[in-house]
Structure 1
Amino acid sequence: MPRFPKPAEGSWTEHYPQLGTGPVSYQDSVDPEFYEVERQAVFKRAWLNVGRVEQVPRKGSYFTKELKVVNTSIIVVRTTSGEVKAYHNICRHRGNKLVWNEMPLEETSGVCRQFTCKYHAWRYDLDGNLTFVQQEGEFFDLDKSRYGLVPVHCEVWEGFIFVNFAKQPEQSLRDFLGPMILGLEGYPFDKMTSRFHYRSEVKANWKLYMDAFQEFYHAPVLHANQSPTAYSKAAAEAGFEAPHYRIDGPHRLVSTSGVRAWEMADEMRKPIEDICQSGLFGPWDKPDLGEMPEGLNPAKCDPWGLDSFQLFPNFVMLFWGQGWYLTYHYWPTSFNTHIFEGTLYFPQPRTPRERIAQELAAVSFKEYGLQDANTLEATQSMIESRVLDDFVLCDQEVLIRHLHAETAAWVEDYRNKTAGV
């Protein structure tokens, strides 16, 4: 896929001529047939983030991930040698799901020395080797070395665990990430171990929710109730525009300036924010995390608000200028439903007050996330009416244009490669 140059001054969209400036179709968000091809063309070919190494902190630590979009469940485990590996969560005997607790479709985690099937007690070691077969003599010429767990391509970058479901990935993970994402190397991810997690089932196509976080054109309107009426009205009339957008291969970035919450007028802050010294932008006390990587705050905003890195297809890393970050995942479950996951990461709190400040930031994020999700079902229902065939986008919505164009390019590439096969 092509990499786009950094734009000069002027219209962001016009500096990416491959994207055009005309109306955009949302056929890719309402067509069940397109979704079936998208599953093969995108989610079975791209590198997908499924978690972080802190979820498998020691030998034998594991977690499972349910991935309906590729019709499988996987086990991610830290092996005896300390390597992180992934396997399809299926027993080689009769196809039973290997690792689960009371509810087979729910994800689970834990620590073990081996994996034992609940059905007939076949056992596998942490490297996926079949080590024990109940009544092995009853089988016909069974060679256990041929019946280990089915591996999934798995690589780790900066503590993020990625998997790839292609028989042979078309790119290494580093090549797939490219220069813009690799520019984040050196961020202190390993220090961000205070974690808050949210998960929700959303009745909308996965790309529509990604679109909601790819522009700030909506912010003064959709989030107006979070501010005093007079301020919200003025903000809606003035609008908001981020100072920097960037596209690199399949990935995207929007970077914004920020505000220092404690310097805002008293009437613009909630009393709880003053009490806890925290809010949407995070705790007011910024931790000392050392020198930041060059890839952050490319527009050199002062004050800097946030950078939102959109990793194709469905993973977002959002870094806040106040010294913390969060991730979003959008896991399709059908052409018009998906699972949204939001995870916030902070340094470990040193005092109860620091913990409360983090919790307020997490609750504030959840409120804003609910507001962003609130329009999605209404959007999905009406674009499925097909009353309109396409929709106009402004210059600030260039990243939306790119996501849909990139998805279409991957689908077209897949169709060309599989034509006649």
Structure 2
Amino acid sequence: MARFPKPPEGSWTEHYPDLGTDPVSYEDSISPEFYEVERKAVFKRAWLNVGRVEQLPRKGSYFTKELKVANTSIIVVRTTSGEVKAYHNICRHRGNKLVWNDMPLEETSGVCRQFTCKYHAWRYDLDGHLTFVQQEGEFFDLDKSRYGLVPVHCDVWEGFIFVNFAPEPEQSLRDFLGPMITGLEGYPFAEMTSRFYYRSEVKANWKLYMDAFQEFYHAPILHANQSPSTFSKAAAEAGFEAPHYRIDGPHRLVSTSGIRAWEMDPDMRKPMEDICQSGLFGPWDKPDLGPMPEGLNPAKCEPWGLDSFQLFPNFVILIWGQGWYLTYHYWPTSFNTHIFEGTLYFPQPRTPRERIAQELAAVSFKEYGLQDANTLEATQTMVEARAVNEFLLCDQEVLIRHLHKETAAWVDDYRRKTAEVGAP
């Protein structure tokens, strides 16, 4: 879909006529049957981000990722040649999970020269080759070269590690990302190594939480208590509208301006923000990161607040004009539960004050995230009641329309292709 500037008398939704303007159904968020197809149609075919290369700082560094939506656990490792590879986390002998610590369902990380199974001590090198079998002579016609770890398609873009569970991906990672996302190339992601991480188990469908971060129509209302009362009242009365929305293939973007009333008026600032010189938008001292890529701030907002890039299916890169970024992941665990991960990335602090400023931004983000999540379980339970089957969306919720329509398109495409080959 093309990018359009919004005329004064027009609407964003009208620029994308395929999305329509009718009320939408949330059946895709409450149906166990739809979820089972969605797992195969979307999460076993799309490229999924599972981490960053900074998690693998040297040869032999690894981490595991539990992916219930794909019914698997994977190992992501930096090999002796420096390449990043991924494998299913299973020993070829008796099927034991290969890499885990005390609790087999918990994720772990570390550094090693080889992977050794806890059960019978079979060993695999970092390239996945089976190198040692305990009492090898007891086996019948064992050819170790045939029993290496099962690989998972893996590729890296701008330091982000992606995997794909299809037998053969339908697109390369770069083609899947498309020009809107690859337009971010050159942003100093690798310089943002000060990291804050949050994880939460949410009793709601993953798409409902994505919806919460795809529009700012809710901001003056839901987050009213987080902002100074004078600002909140004015924002609630005037409403809020983002200056730019864009859709590119399966991915979406929303941009906002950067006007911060509490920074312009000392009476509207919180004492803690004055002390720490920081707040939700990040530390007030913006770092010099050099020239920014053309893909940022496509609306040319001045001042510019943020760009939220929604990568299909479940990954968000949100870049702040203040010189830092955060990511969201939404990992389904059932039709009405998922795991939410929020990670904030800043340049390494040079002083204790800079560190404290980053920590305040991280805490402020957590509070906003809790406010957004607070509505989700109530939404899920009431939508599941099916007393109402269609829901109204305004022009600012155009990206919500797109996510649900795109998910349905992937499911329809999967059903058509599997029917053609006679698959169940």
TM-score range for the pair, normalised by the shorter chain length: over 0.9
What's the counterpart of residue 61 of structure 1? 61
Q: Distance in 2 between matches of 1:280 and 1:80?
A: 41
Q: Distance in 2 between matches of 1:401 and 1:415?
A: 21
Matched-pair contact (CA < 8 Å) for 1:242–1:255:
yes
Matched-pair contact (CA < 8 Å) for 1:7–1:15:
no
Q: How does 1:7-406 map to 2 (within 5 A)?
A: 7-9=5-7, 10-260=10-260, 263-406=263-406
- SS of the residue aligned with 1:69? helix
Identity %: 89
- SS of the residue aligned with 2:175? helix
Letter in 2 for 1:50: V
Cα displacement (A) at 1:65:
0.1
- SS of the residue aligned with 2:330? strand
Q: Distance in 1 between matches of 2:15 and 2:285?
A: 39
Letter in 2 for 1:180: M
Matched-pair contact (CA < 8 Å) for 1:80–1:126:
yes
- SS of the residue aligned with 1:166? coil
- SS of the residue aligned with 1:279? coil
Letter in 2 for 1:383: V
- SS of the residue aligned with 2:240? coil
Q: Distance in 2 between matches of 1:89 and 1:231?
A: 51
- SS of the residue aligned with 2:406? helix
- SS of the residue aligned with 1:81? coil
Cα displacement (A) at 1:265:
1.5
- SS of the residue aligned with 1:390? coil
What's the counterpart of residue 416 of structure 1? 416
TM-score by structure 1 length?
Answer: 0.98
Letter in 2 for 1:292: M
Matched-pair contact (CA < 8 Å) for 2:31–2:335:
yes
Letter in 2 for 1:353: R
Q: Distance in 1 between matches of 2:328 and 2:248?
A: 19
**Structure 1 unaligned blocks of 5 or more:** none
Cα displacement (A) at 1:262:
6.4
What's the counterpart of residue 4 of structure 2? 6
TM-score by structure 2 length?
Answer: 0.98
Cα displacement (A) at 1:231:
2.7
Letter in 2 for 1:296: L
Q: Distance in 2 between matches of 1:132 and 1:84?
A: 23
Matched-pair contact (CA < 8 Å) for 2:50–2:162:
yes
Q: 4+ residue stretches of structure 1 with deviation over 4 A?
A: none
Cα displacement (A) at 1:51:
0.1
Cα displacement (A) at 1:290:
0.3
Moved more, 140-149 or 265-274: 265-274
Provide the aligned C-alpha RMSD in A: 0.9
- SS of the residue aligned with 2:64? strand
Cα displacement (A) at 1:7:
4.9
- SS of the residue aligned with 2:153? strand
Letter in 2 for 1:359: E
Kindly tell me: are residues 261 and 64 of structure 1, through their superposed partners in 2, closer, same or farther at Cα, counting changes over 3 Å?
Answer: farther
**Structure 2 unaligned blocks of 5 or more:** none
Q: Distance in 2 between matches of 1:8 and 1:234?
A: 24
Cα displacement (A) at 1:414:
0.2
Matched-pair contact (CA < 8 Å) for 2:202–2:337:
yes
Q: Distance in 1 between matches of 2:2 and 2:45?
A: 21
Matched-pair contact (CA < 8 Å) for 1:59–1:78:
yes
Letter in 2 for 1:351: T
Q: Distance in 2 between matches of 1:404 and 1:242?
A: 21
Q: Distance in 2 between matches of 1:261 and 1:274?
A: 14
Number of aligned residue pairs: 419
Q: Distance in 2 between matches of 1:199 and 1:136?
A: 43
Q: Distance in 2 between matches of 1:41 and 1:146?
A: 30
Cα displacement (A) at 1:261:
6.2
Matched-pair contact (CA < 8 Å) for 2:220–2:240:
yes
Moved more, 279-288 or 260-269: 260-269
Q: Distance in 2 between matches of 1:363 and 1:159?
A: 26
Q: Distance in 1 between matches of 2:316 and 2:280?
A: 18
Letter in 2 for 1:291: P
Letter in 1 for 2:395: D
Q: Distance in 1 between matches of 2:3 and 2:222?
A: 32
Cα displacement (A) at 1:48:
0.1
Q: Deviations over 1:18-77 (max 9, x none)?
A: 000000000000000000000000000000000000000100000000000000000000
- SS of the residue aligned with 2:174? helix
